[in-house]
Amino acid sequence: MAKKKKPFTKMQCKECKEINYFTNRSKGLDEEKKKLELKKFCNTCRKHTPHKEAKK
């Protein structure tokens, strides 16, 4: 079995579209689970905003 590439996810602010966070999906995370969304602090918006997983 070929080794899978390390899943590497960008978290993008939904409001300003700025990429603020990078996250590694742990192998425990279900890959079928699409688009994760988290509330994170955005330095551009200067507040907590929903951050969406961004595709390359």
* Contact flag: residue 15 with Zn ion (CB under 5 A): yes
Residue 40: CB minimum distance to Zn ion, A: 9
Residue 36: CB minimum distance to Zn ion, A: 17
Residue of 9, 21, 25, 45 that binds Zn ion (CB under 5 A):
45
CA-CA distance, 3 to 48, in Å (whole number)?
36
CA-CA distance, 37 to 50, in Å (whole number)?
7
**17, 28 contact by CB (below 8 A):** no
Residues lying near Zn ion in the complex (CB under 5 A): 13, 15-16, 42, 44-45, 49
